[in-house]
């Protein structure tokens, strides 16, 4: 978890000075927002309950947005919403995290910003 938090801090710092930061209107992304990743059996149960679509379906929806190599993926909850998270090694060598709604595959932009602002 330390590496994820460090990455979020770096991303927030990098975006704070860029003109593109104003375009980000996504929800804030705090460690406390997450209930944690679940294992394979938990993911199967989420699919059976209808909380999440099968991974293959989400991957098909997500693939056009993914630029780079998928290093890992997991299913987790963010503020009560099930998300598939992809850890991507981008062509520029940076690691990026992309989140997709686990039911629909819709891209969910989460930023490392503070909720207080």
Residue ranges of the domains in the chain?
2-18+26-111
Q: For residue 31, what pLDDT is reported?
A: 53
**Contact between residue 75 and residue 83 where contact means Cβ atoms under 8 Å apart:** yes
- 63: phi then psi, degrees, rounded to nearest 5: -50, -45
Q: For residue 109, what pLDDT is reported?
A: 86
| Rounded Cα gap, residues 113 and 117, in angstroms | 8
Q: For residue 5, what pLDDT is reported?
A: 40
- Per-residue pLDDT tens, the chain, 117 aa: give them: 444 443 433 343 333 333 333 232 344 455 555 566 688 888 899 999 999 999 999 999 999 999 999 999 999 988 888 999 999 999 999 999 999 999 999 999 876 554 444
- 66: phi then psi, degrees, rounded to nearest 5: -85, 115
**Contact between residue 52 and residue 43 where contact means Cβ atoms under 8 Å apart:** yes
| Stated pTM of the model | 0.66
């Amino acid at each position: 978890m330390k590496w994820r938090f460090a990455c979020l801090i770096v991303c927030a710092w990098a975006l704070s000075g860029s003109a593109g930061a104003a375009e980000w209107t996504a929800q804030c992304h705090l460690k406390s927002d997450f209930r944690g990743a679940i294992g394979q059996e938990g993911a199967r149960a989420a699919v059976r309950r209808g909380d999440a679509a099968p991974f293959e379906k989400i991957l098909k929806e997500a693939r056009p947005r993914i630029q780079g190599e998928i290093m890992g993926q997991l299913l987790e909850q963010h503020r009560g919403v099930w998300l598939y998270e992809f850890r991507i090694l981008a062509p520029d060598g940076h690691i990026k995290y992309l989140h997709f709604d686990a039911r629909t595959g819709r891209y969910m932009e989460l930023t490392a910003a503070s909720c207080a602002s």
